[in-house]
Amino acid sequence: MKLNILALIIGIKKRFNDIFFRPYSKFNISWAKEKLLKHANSNIEYSHLYKNKYKIAFKDPKAFLYSIRELFIDELYKFKSDNQEPYIIDCGSYIGTSILFFKDQFPNSRILAYEPDNLNYAIFKKNIENWNFNNVKIENAAIWIDNHGVNFNDDGNMSSKIAESNGTAVNANLKTKSVRLKDLLIEKVDFLKIDIEGAEYEVLVDCEKSLNFVENIFIEYHENYNEMYKLNKILNILLENNFKYYIKETGVTYKHPFYEKENIYDYDVQLNICAFKK
């Protein structure tokens, strides 16, 4: 009887927490606004005020909430540094919420940031100008293995990526500017973030000999089952550069992986790889 009552109390408490749990309150988002954004339309410009001084513009409410949860609630990019002015390279900045997180953590940090999607970059630039941070340099460019430009799909969301066919464009002016990451790794980098939607393998292979400059690295890994050797290669590159690593699943792609083996998504595997030196 006592066990049944205890189970009932635990169940009621869990239900109560599920209803009234407000994780986004940490980012000054009310319960009502959270519900509104979860059902709001995309492609309309919205804004939110954080700490009564950081106005954030965005057009995709669901992606905005996802980024806030990942950064400010789960604190995926949180890291320690003896340097109070750490140097951070942010590859794939979306609308700038990662910059806001880094500056929240290290106000005196020096940040170099890249966002290739023109639609995202317009909002990113607007946000950075509104926040008026010191020592933040942003560029409308894709991180890649050379500086010759890439064919890029501008989708205006978090999944924009380099086109699969990346040959020479008919009109070179239509190509998106690219920056070779290897060329940037010439001094100590306290935190390197790589979220470049499937281009991470080529980029990491190209700059593997320069990762000795990097202390902490975050990689959002995207790949399909038929190219799993790429994950092995990336992990070997990290080990060869004296990194320890911890892997988290980005999201549940297949709930039943032994049963759902058909390729029905852009990527079968999406992982967050957090690598660090001790």
Q: How many domains does the chain have?
A: 1
Identify whether 5 is part of a domain: no
Q: What whole-number distance in Å separates Cα of residue 122 and Cα of residue 118?
A: 6
pLDDT, residue 168, reads 43
Q: Which of 96, 87, 30 shows the shortest CA–CA distance to 63?
A: 96
Identify whether 152 is part of a domain: yes
Q: Hey, which residues does 58 pair with through a beta bridge?
A: 46
Q: Which of 208, 269, 218, 222 shows the shortest CA–CA distance to 245?
A: 218
Amino acid sitting at position 118: N
Task: Residue 102: give its domain's CATH number.
Answer: 3.40.50.150
pLDDT by residue for the chain (278 residues), tens only, comes to 556 666 666 666 666 555 556 889 999 999 889 999 999 998 899 999 999 999 999 999 999 999 999 999 999 999 999 998 999 999 999 999 999 999 999 999 999 999 999 999 999 999 999 999 999 999 999 999 999 998 877 766 666 667 654 544 444 456 889 999 999 999 999 999 999 988 999 999 999 999 999 999 999 998 888 888 999 999 999 999 999 999 998 877 788 888 876 666 678 889 999 999 98
pTM metric for this prediction: 0.87
Identify whether 268 is part of a domain: yes
Identify whether 113 is part of a domain: yes
Q: What is the domain extent for residue 145?
A: 85-276
pLDDT, residue 107, reads 97
Q: What whole-number distance in Å separates Cα of residue 189 and Cα of residue 200?
A: 18
Identify whether 132 is part of a domain: yes
The answer to whether 184 touches 213, Cβ cutoff 8 Å, is no
Q: Hey, which residues does 175 pair with through a beta bridge?
A: none
pLDDT, residue 152, reads 78
Identify whether 11 is part of a domain: no
Identify whether 7 is part of a domain: no
